[in-house]
Structures are given as structure tokens and as C-alpha cells.
């Protein structure tokens, strides 16, 4: 973007603040695990120089960033991301920021948004395509109550929902019944679906913030599982929107008396929450994934892209399904997409080819193992790099499987590989297989090493060290 165009974008952002009578401006950036962080200025303290010079913050207090002896960092607001926060009482303009190093003057290698930007630049430089489009389906739960704690001598969680089928026998008056049974939440109308209005309020908040929403609906599980579908857009923009999405869902849910969680598997015995991610590559306005003669109308490039996703899936999941809880969802034999195959329409495969439309523009691949605990900047960038590796090396995926993968004869089922079953396993896979991420400098060794260290020591080891409540059911009387 040239200087005059950037100046116009800055003025448009400031005009948006004036039109909404904003009193504050919120600077937001993303830590390495994928949480938004922020600090706030009175609107009259936002000077145009901040867009070029940045604003300082303590990087040593941000997860996955700096050590204390190198703490000073800069946040550079991106004026093209400006939106008015639809959840705050005080009118507030939000600006998503890139993170920079004040000593080197360079973008910060561990800034997830910088990784996403580099992925898009790498795609354009590759000659394979000039644009990638992304359409994640991030599921979530809306509960009425959530308690949890862990100490050296106790540990518990307790979730409740007015919609939970377990409340059918609740003796409190009145019990108005009409709740979705386990695995029957897709898609009965109200009164079984009690959350129609709250989802609609969330959608209106998203639309007011500039997010293009296609639809919302109740999902499969009891107790308030939901999905809101965003229209596809480019990689970094979609990652920005996913951060907006999670923030707006949580805050508007709270205002309506609910607590929202994107935890992959909060309930035992019912469906978990995934982030099925639709993706396609385009060049000069044409969809490279379409071929009218190909299987499921897929081109060779699309097939090789799928080959890259499936080959690198174990490593990808360290970034795309990055929590210990993710592997309560990704369990063989249930509805989770754990089978390393592809197929049209088949939702039990890791890669599904949606067949709703035969239009060239609709041809895409859907990678189903990711979940909404992922950092979207890193997850989308990693999937793109795996797919590009598949195209460069013409990686052929296994033959497509049209059968129900949960009902195969044992001799056929034994031939189909599954994704790994724990966070430890996928972290080991990423350590052994990450050269495809380093291509073109999109990810750096520093980012991969920091990710592995953080996930192992701060999450996997911490969960592994603690007794599980169900272990008392199994072993207390040994």
C-alpha cells in the first residue's frame, strides 16, 4: 500500500471513530497461544504518528513473547481493521495491531499475525496462486453456569445449562421441558432450541462490527451447542475475524446471561466443538481447485493440496488442535474426523469435499480435525503451507473413501490411518516434521521451538501431573 492510500485508510478509521462518537480506542494484538490482548487510550490521545511509530507495551508479560530483559515491544495499529466494538457501554474504536521489535525495527517473529501475513506473501511469490480463501466453522457452547477448580487436594468441574437434557427431571418450578436429547440438537426449532434469540443478537453484533455472516444454527449436542458461519475471505482477514468472532460471542453471550466456551470437548458423551476449515486457492480470479472432469470436480492441484494436508496432518494438529482437551474430541469410533482419507460429502473423513454446488467458485476442500482452541493466524498459515507442500511435491493422497468409515469391515478399517491421539504425540510429530512450515521463512525455527516448549511444559505436562477425577472412580479401592 502506497503512502497516500495508507493515509486514506487512516483517515477512514478516524472518521469511523468520529461518526460513532467513540470516546476510547482499544489496541488489540494476539499472543502466541491465540488470545487477544489489549490496552486502551482516550480517543484524543490517538495521534496519526502511532500508525507509523507504534505504541509501547511490556512483551515479557505476554504468553510466548519476550523474556524480562528484552521486554519492550511496539504495537502498530492496522487502520484497515478498525471497527466499533458492539459489546462495550463506552463507545470504543478497536484497532488490531501488528507487533514489532523497537531495537531491530522489524516485525516480531512470534507475532501470529505476522506469520499469517508472511504466509499470504509467500503464496503470491510462489507462482502457484495469488489468493487463498478461508471459511472456518467454529462451534461453541452457551452454558448458564460453569464452575471449576484444582488444588493440591481437590479438583472438579461442574457445568449446567437450562437446555441440558439432564435437567428434564429437575423438580424446580416451573420446568418447561423441551430440550434437545444427546446428539439431537441439529436442528430442531424453538422451544427445543432455546437460544435462537441470543444467537441472533450475536450475529447482529458481528454484522455491526463488519463481519459478513452467512447463517447461524443450533449444533448437534444438547446444552446449547451452536454454530455461526462466516463468509469466506482471505487468510489474514479471516484470522482477524475469528478473533473478533470469539470476542463478540463471549461478551454478548455474557450480556444475555450465558457463558460461552470454545473448549473442544466440555461435555462427556456428546459432540465436541470443531473448527472445520474450508479453503481454496485462486489465481487471476479463477479457482484452481475446480476441474469438471475430476473426482468431486477437483483439480490435480486440489488433490495434491489434500495430499499435503493428510501427509502433514499429525504435525498440523499440534497447531490446529492444540490442547489436551482436543484429544477428548478426536477419538476413533465416534463422529470426530480422525481418518486420514478424503471423500466427497463424507463427514467421517479428515478432508471432506462439500457437494452443495457444482459452480467452479464453490469448489473447495474442508479440513475437519481443527478445533476453535487454535490460534487462527497460525492454524490457517500452517494448513496453507501443508497444502502448498503437497502441490510442489505432487503428493498423492490415499484413494477417496465413499463408505461409512465407522461401519467398515475390520480388514478394511485396519488399512485406514488415524490422527494421533494426544497432544504429546502431535507435538512430537511437529518436532519431527516442520520443514514445510519454514519454507519461504513463513514460520521460523524460533516460533516452532517456542510453541513446542510452551505446549509441552505449560499445558501437556501440567495436565499429565494431576490426578484425574475419574481415576478415583477406577482406582481408589485398589
CATH number at residue 82: 3.10.20.70
- State residue 333's pLDDT score: 65
Task: Clarify whether residues 146 and 76 are in a common domain.
Answer: no
User: Which residue matches cell numbers 483517515?
Assistant: 11
Residues of the chain with pLDDT below 70 are 333-334, 345
Is the CB of residue 175 less than 8 Å from the CB of residue 159? no
User: In this structure, what are the phi and psi dihedrals at residue 308, rounded to the nearest 5 degrees?
Assistant: -65, -40
Q: What DSSP designation does 441 have?
A: G
Q: Which cell is 109 given?
A: 517473529
Q: Tally helices (H) and strands (E) across the chain.
A: 15, 18
Task: Clarify whether residues 356 and 468 are in a common domain.
Answer: yes
* 39 within domain boundaries: yes
pTM above 0.85, yes or no: yes
Alpha-carbon torsion 217, 195, 263, 413, what sign? negative
Structural domain tally of the chain? Answer: 2
Task: Clarify whether residues 91 and 136 are in a common domain.
Answer: no
Task: Clarify whether residues 228 and 92 are in a common domain.
Answer: no
Task: Clarify whether residues 336 and 425 are in a common domain.
Answer: yes
Read off the CATH number of the domain in which 444 is found: 3.30.590.10
286 bridge partner residues: 283
Task: Clarify whether residues 96 and 61 are in a common domain.
Answer: yes
Task: Clarify whether residues 280 and 412 are in a common domain.
Answer: yes
Domain boundary among 75, 92, 107: 107
3-class secondary-structure state, position 467: coil
* 116 within domain boundaries: no
Task: Clarify whether residues 359 and 468 are in a common domain.
Answer: yes
Task: Clarify whether residues 286 and 374 are in a common domain.
Answer: yes
Task: Clarify whether residues 94 and 192 are in a common domain.
Answer: no
353-360: long-range contacts (C-beta < 8 A, 24 or more apart)? Answer: 353/296, 353/297, 353/298, 354/278, 355/296, 358/297, 360/286, 360/287, 360/290
* 19 within domain boundaries: yes
* 221 within domain boundaries: yes
- State residue 334's pLDDT score: 67
Is the CB of residue 294 less than 8 Å from the CB of residue 300? yes
- State residue 405's pLDDT score: 74
Which domain, by its residues, includes 27?
Answer: 3-107
Q: Which cell is 6 given?
A: 495508507
**Radius of gyration of the chain, Cα coordinates, nearest whole angstrom:** 23
Task: Clarify whether residues 434 and 317 are in a common domain.
Answer: yes
Q: Which residues contact 348 (CB under 8 A, 6 or more apart)?
A: 335, 337, 339, 404, 405, 406
3-class secondary-structure state, position 146: strand
Task: Clarify whether residues 34 and 175 are in a common domain.
Answer: no
Active site residues: 58, 137, 139, 219, 227, 276, 347, 366, 368
Q: What is the per-residue burial (b if ≥16 Cβ within 10 Å, else e) of 347-356?
A: ebbbbbbbee
- State residue 4's pLDDT score: 74
Interatomic CA distance for residues 472 and 314, integer angstroms: 32
- State residue 266's pLDDT score: 97
Amino acid at each position: 500500500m502506497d503512502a497516500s492510500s495508507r493515509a486514506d485508510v487512516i483517515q477512514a478509521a478516524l472518521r469511523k471513530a468520529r461518526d460513532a462518537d467513540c470516546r476510547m480506542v482499544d489496541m488489540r494484538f494476539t499472543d502466541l497461544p491465540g488470545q487477544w490482548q489489549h490496552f486502551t487510550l482516550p480517543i484524543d490521545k490517538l495521534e496519526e504518528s502511532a500508525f507509523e511509530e507504534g505504541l509501547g507495551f511490556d512483551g515479557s508479560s505476554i504468553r510466548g513473547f519476550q523474556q524480562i530483559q528484552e521486554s519492550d515491544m511496539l504495537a502498530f495499529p492496522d487502520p484497515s481493521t478498525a471497527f466499533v466494538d458492539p459489546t462495550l457501554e463506552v463507545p470504543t474504536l478497536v484497532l488490531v495491531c501488528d507487533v514489532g521489535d523497537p531495537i531491530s525495527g522489524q516485525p516480531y517473529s512470534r507475532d501470529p499475525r505476522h506469520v499469517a501475513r508472511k504466509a499470504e506473501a509467500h503464496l503470491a511469490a510462489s507462482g502457484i496462486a495469488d489468493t487463498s480463501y478461508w471459511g472456518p466453522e467454529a462451534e461453541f457452547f452457551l452454558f448458564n453456569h460453569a464452575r471449576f477448580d484444582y488444588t493440591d487436594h481437590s479438583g472438579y468441574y461442574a457445568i449446567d445449562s437450562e437446555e441440558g437434557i439432564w435437567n428434564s427431571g429437575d423438580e424446580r418450578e416451573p420446568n418447561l421441558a423441551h430440550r434437545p436429547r444427546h446428539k439431537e440438537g441439529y436442528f430442531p426449532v424453538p422451544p427445543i432450541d432455546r437460544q435462537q434469540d441470543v444467537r441472533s443478537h450475536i450475529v447482529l453484533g458481528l454484522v455491526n462490527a463488519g463481519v459478513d455472516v452467512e447463517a447461524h444454527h443450533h449444533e448437534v449436542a444438547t446444552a446449547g451447542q451452536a454454530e455461526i458461519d462466516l463468509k469466506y475471505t482471505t487468510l489474514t482477514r479471516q484470522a482477524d475475524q475469528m478473533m473478533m468472532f470469539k470476542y463478540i460471542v463471549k461478551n454478548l453471550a455474557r450480556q444475555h446471561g450465558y457463558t460461552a466456551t470454545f473448549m473442544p470437548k466440555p461435555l462427556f458423551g456428546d459432540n465436541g466443538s470443531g473448527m472445520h476449515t474450508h479453503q481454496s486457492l485462486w489465481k487471476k480470479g479463477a479457482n484452481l481447485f475446480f476441474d469438471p472432469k475430476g473426482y468431486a470436480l477437483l483439480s490435480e492441484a486440489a488433490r495434491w493440496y489434500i495430499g499435503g494436508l493428510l501427509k502433514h496432518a499429525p504435525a498440523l494438529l499440534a497447531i490446529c488442535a492444540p490442547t489436551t482437551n482436543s484429544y477428548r474430541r478426536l477419538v476413533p469410533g465416534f463422529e470426530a474426523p480422525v481418518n486420514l482419507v478424503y471423500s466427497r460429502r463424507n463427514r467421517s473423513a479428515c478432508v471432506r469435499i462439500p457437494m452443495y454446488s457444482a459452480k467452479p467458485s464453490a469448489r473447495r476442500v474442508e479440513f475437519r480435525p481443527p478445533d476453535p482452541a487454535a490460534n487462527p493466524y497460525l492454524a490457517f498459515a500452517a494448513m496453507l503451507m501443508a497444502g502448498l507442500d503437497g502441490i510442489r511435491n505432487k503428493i498423492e493422497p490415499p484413494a477417496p473413501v465413499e463408505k461409512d468409515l465407522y461401519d467398515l469391515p475390520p480388514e478394511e478399517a485396519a488399512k485406514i490411518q488415524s490422527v494421533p491421539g494426544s497432544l504429546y504425540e502431535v507435538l512430537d510429530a511437529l518436532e519431527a516434521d516442520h520443514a514445510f512450515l519454514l519454507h519461504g521463512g513463513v514460520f521460523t525455527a524460533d516460533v516452532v521451538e517456542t510453541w513446542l516448549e510452551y505446549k509441552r511444559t505449560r499445558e501437556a505436562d501440567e495436565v499429565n501431573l494431576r490426578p484425574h477425577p475419574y481415576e478415583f472412580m477406577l482406582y481408589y479401592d485398589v
